[in-house]
């Protein structure tokens, strides 16, 4: 059975935080941020908005794009780095808000690679015949985990959500290959130390800002610059394809210089890599789906196009999917 993306949608908060706004908050400048990251602005959720809220909005758009209703979905997988709470899972909160009643739902915690892991996982349920339609969502509000006095991290992240609906497609279309990898040896390079069972939240942890993102920027940059081209080559090899066959590479949007370095290592035209980091910053698990949705809405993806989705993030994790677009068997 061939499994592909039959619907896609995204949601971005209305509040915009620009580099010029950050100049008033922390010792930084628009030029410093833009030249080092490629980011000009990012979206931030309002205080009364939660992860489940933005995930639901993205999910509704993906369902509409697929021509489906929530009653047609058999499983929900939500990838996130900023779950609403330790328990229950954010996916169950989303399930309730979507009115999905009793269908199974679970969270996928794989850093910013979460959407790639979730798509790969969701596809297996369809290929085995257990389910027919799987809703995969990537949603994050890492603004809630930022130290707004740390200019090395607070300038990087934005909030948002993206979703895809997986379903059966015609033979020869859909997901052609997957690649997943991880190395816990790099776990300390990108983490939020406090808030889990290993370091429960205390007054001391709050004062030390251990509930905020800690990142070894230089080491993460080196890792991502290796991981992106490695995953790209590995997933193409599994699909018996070359970079020349790929219409677009849709990478996780973390830093424009990572993408530039990866493009050089791969020997591809930089324009082949889709980029929207200037508008949204690093939206973590949502970034790939947001970029995919924008491509589709701009009518830049056509039947038979080969797309390569590639992510990297905390864990450390990395991975990729190769997808032949189209072949949708609507509502099958």
Distance CA 62, CA 76 (A): 13
Measured at the CA of 23, the angle between CA 21 and CA 28, to 5 degrees, comes to 140
DSSP-assigned letters across all residues of 165-189: EEEEE-TT-EEEEEEEEE-GGGGGG
Catalytic annotation present for 282: yes
What gap in Å lies between CA 237 and CA 251, rounded to an integer?
18
Give kind and range of the element (H or E) at residue 22: helix 19-23
Active site residue 252: yes
Q: What is the DSSP string of 266-317?
A: HT--GGGB---HHHH-B-GGGHHHHHHHHHHHTT---TT-EEEEEEEETTTE
List the catalytic residue out of 145, 252, 321, 328: 252
Catalytically annotated residue among 19, 255, 282, 321: 282
Nearest to 288 by CA among 138, 117, 101, 104: 138
Of 112, 178, 255, 328, which is the active-site residue? 112
Active-site residue list? 112, 252, 282
């Amino acid at each position: 059975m061939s499994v592909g993306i039959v619907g896609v949608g995204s949601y971005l908060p209305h509040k915009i935080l620009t580099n010029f706004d950050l100049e008033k908050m922390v010792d930084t400048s628009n030029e410093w941020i833009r030249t080092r990251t490629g980011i000009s602005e990012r979206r931030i959720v309002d205080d009364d908005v939660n992860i489940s809220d933005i995930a639901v909005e993205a999910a509704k758009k993906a369902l509409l794009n697929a021509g489906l209703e929530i009653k047609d979905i058999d499983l929900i997988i939500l990838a996130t780095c900023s779950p609403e709470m330790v328990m229950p899972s954010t996916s169950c909160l989303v399930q309730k808000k979507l009115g999905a009643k009793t269908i199974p739902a679970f969270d996928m915690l794989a850093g910013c690679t979460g959407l790639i892991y979730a798509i790969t996982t969701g596809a297996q349920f369809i290929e085995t015949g257990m389910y027919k339609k799987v809703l995969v969502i990537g949603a994050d509000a890492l603004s809630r985990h930022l130290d707004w006095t740390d200019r090395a991290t607070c300038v990087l992240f934005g909030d948002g959500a993206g979703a895809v609906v997986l379903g059966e497609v015609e033979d020869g279309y859909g997901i052609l290959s997957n690649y997943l990898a991880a190395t816990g040896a790099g776990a300390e390079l990108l983490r939020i130390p406090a808030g889990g069972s290993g370091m429960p939240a205390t007054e001391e942890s709050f004062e030390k800002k251990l509930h905020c993102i800690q990142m070894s920027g230089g080491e993460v940059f080196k890792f991502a610059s290796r991981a992106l081209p490695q995953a790209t080559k590995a997933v193409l090899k599994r699909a018996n394809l070359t970079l020349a066959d790929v219409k677009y590479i849709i990478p996780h949007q973390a830093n424009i210089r990572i993408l530039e370095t990866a493009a050089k290592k791969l020997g591809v035209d930089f324009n082949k890599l889709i980029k929207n980091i200037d508008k949204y910053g690093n939206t973590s698990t949502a970034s790939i789906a947001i970029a995919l949705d924008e491509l589709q809405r701009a009518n830049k993806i056509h039947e038979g196009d080969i797309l390569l989705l590639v992510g990297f993030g905390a864990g450390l994790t990395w991975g990729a999917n190769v997808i032949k677009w189209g072949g949708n068997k609507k509502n099958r």
